[in-house]
């Protein structure tokens, strides 16, 4: 898989390869990857150059007095006596340097290894710190999204509770109507064009409080159901009847003008019309088509 840009993972893999810290299998896999990924090759070249210069960063020290003898023995070089004599003469000519260089007799390779190990440890610690920081940021974002989602759910639940509380209050008031002797009722039935519309109107003739329940065809956009009381003496507007998306109506309103059904020979009719959303309280007659009607009778 080729990389489009150098990432922290690419730099880490190239650094471990440059310092010869990968296993044989990991190194072979990385070498195969280098053949097709120019981004990793560029990063490796940078790190190889840095690794090659690590040894040059160490302070130059005088070789130990037996360095010539050990070197001659290692390469099996015949003129050992000359090397030994040269280093011996140099040692005798500068006897004052012997004591100061005893603490620096360790091979340069050991010091170089210590520097390399220190760099590796620092790099590993930095990598762990970086990944830990990334994990912390991701976890914080996850918790923040969870909190925001929980707040949205809580707001929806509160709205549902408010709606349920309002409906419960309406239902309580609705049940109280059955205990009032002044309550009169009209059973609403649909007209020929809307036969499926049905409902009921409960009218408290003493307080003029009206409660309407029903299931009507959902009102089109820009229109709403209106309730009217019609008698031989005239028509009185009783209020709006808003419905939900399914056409269900549960509305409590108040009659604007008191009506005395006892003085009317033909009684009072409850009429539901479908008109615009504007208030019709100033009009004397309904303008929209009749959706449902019912005669008000004693309960």
Give residues with Cβ within 8 angstroms of 60, minimum separation 6: none
Instruction: Name which residue leads in pLDDT, 156 or 299.
Output: 156
Domain count along the chain: 2
- The whole-number pLDDT of residue 178 equals 72
Nearest to 12 by CA among 111, 115, 126: 126
- The whole-number pLDDT of residue 263 equals 43
Residue 30 lies in a domain: yes
- The whole-number pLDDT of residue 298 equals 83
Residue 163 lies in a domain: no
- The whole-number pLDDT of residue 19 equals 79
Domain assignment of residue 232, given as a range: 183-298
pLDDT in tens, 101-120: 544 455 556 667 777 778 88
Phi/psi of residue 245, nearest 5 degrees: -65, -25
Among residues 138, 154, 174, the one where a domain terminates is 138
Q: Above 50 in pLDDT, residue 81?
A: no
The mean pLDDT value of the chain amounts to 78
CA separation for the pair 170, 246 (Å, rounded): 19
CB 39 within 8 A of CB 5: yes
Residue 174 lies in a domain: no
Residue 80 lies in a domain: yes
Q: Above 60 in pLDDT, residue 11?
A: yes
Residue 54 lies in a domain: yes
Residue 51 lies in a domain: yes
CB 253 within 8 A of CB 210: yes
- The whole-number pLDDT of residue 217 equals 92
Same domain membership, residue 187 and residue 117: no
Same domain membership, residue 31 and residue 130: yes
pTM exceeds 0.85: no
- The whole-number pLDDT of residue 60 equals 59
Across 36-45, 54-63, 210-219, least confident range: 54-63
Among residues 82, 109, 138, the one where a domain terminates is 138
Residue 172 lies in a domain: no
- pLDDT above 70 as % of the chain: 76
Across 59-63, 104-108, 199-203, 285-289, least confident range: 104-108
Same domain membership, residue 123 and residue 56: yes
Same domain membership, residue 197 and residue 131: no
Residue 226 lies in a domain: yes
What DSSP assignment string belongs to the chain? ---SS--HHHHHHHHHHHTT-S-HHHHHHHHHHHTT-HHHHHHHHHHHHHHHTTGGGSPP-PPPTTHHHHHHHHHT-S-HHHHHHHHHHHHHH-THHHHHTGGG-S-HHHHHHHHHHHHHHHHHHHHHHHHHHHHHHHHHHHHHHHHHHHHHHHHHHHHHHHHHHHHHHHHHHHHHHTT-TTEEEEEEEE-TT-TT-EEEEEEETTTTEEEEEEE-PPPPTTEEEEEEEEETTEEEEEEEE---TT-EEEEEEE-SS---GGG-SS--EEEEEEEESS--TT-SS--SPEEEEEEEEE-
- Side-chain half-sphere of 137: how many Cα atoms within 13 Å? 6
Cα 172 from chain centre: 41
Q: Above 90 in pLDDT, residue 287?
A: no
pLDDT in tens, 125-163: 888 788 888 888 888 888 888 898 888 888 888 888 888
Q: Above 80 in pLDDT, residue 70?
A: no
Same domain membership, residue 269 and residue 188: yes
Same domain membership, residue 189 and residue 133: no
pLDDT in tens, 231-260: 888 888 988 999 988 899 988 888 877 666
Among residues 111, 138, 165, the one where a domain terminates is 138
- pLDDT level of residue 74 (50, 70, 90 thresholds): low
What DSSP assignment string belongs to 195-219? TT-EEEEEEETTTTEEEEEEE-PPP
């Amino acid at each position: 898989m080729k990389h489009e840009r150098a990432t922290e993972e690419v730099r880490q893999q190239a650094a471990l390869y440059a310092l010869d810290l990968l296993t044989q299998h990991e190194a072979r896999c990385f070498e195969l990857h280098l053949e097709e990924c120019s981004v990793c090759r560029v990063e490796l070249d940078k790190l190889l150059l840095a690794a090659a210069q690590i040894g040059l960063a160490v302070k130059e020290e005088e070789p130990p007095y037996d360095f010539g003898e050990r070197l001659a023995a290692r390469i099996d070089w015949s003129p050992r006596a000359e090397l030994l004599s040269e280093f011996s003469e140099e040692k005798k000519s500068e006897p004052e340097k012997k004591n100061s260089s005893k603490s620096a007799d360790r091979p340069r390779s050991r010091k170089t290894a210590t520097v390399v190990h220190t760099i590796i440890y620092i790099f590993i610690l930095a990598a762990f710190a970086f990944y830990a920081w990334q994990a912390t940021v991701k976890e914080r974002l996850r918790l923040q999204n969870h909190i925001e989602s929980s707040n949205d759910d809580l707001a929806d639940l509160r709205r549902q509770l408010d709606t349920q509380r309002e409906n419960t209050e309406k239902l309580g008031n609705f049940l109280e109507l059955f205990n009032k002797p002044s309550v009169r009722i009209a059973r609403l039935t649909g007209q020929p064009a809307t036969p499926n519309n049905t409902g009921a109107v409960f009218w408290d003739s003493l307080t003029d409080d009206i409660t309407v329940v029903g299931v009507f065809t959902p009102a089109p956009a820009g229109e709403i159901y209106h309730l009217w009381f019609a008698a031989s003496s005239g028509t009185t507007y009783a209020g709006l009847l808003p419905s939900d998306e399914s056409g269900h109506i549960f509305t409590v309103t108040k009659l604007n003008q008191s009506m005395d059904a006892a003085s009317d020979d033909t009684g009072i009719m409850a009429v539901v019309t479908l008109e615009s959303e504007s208030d019709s309280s100033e009009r004397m007659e309904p303008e929209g088509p009749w959706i449902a009607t019912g005669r008000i009778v004693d309960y």
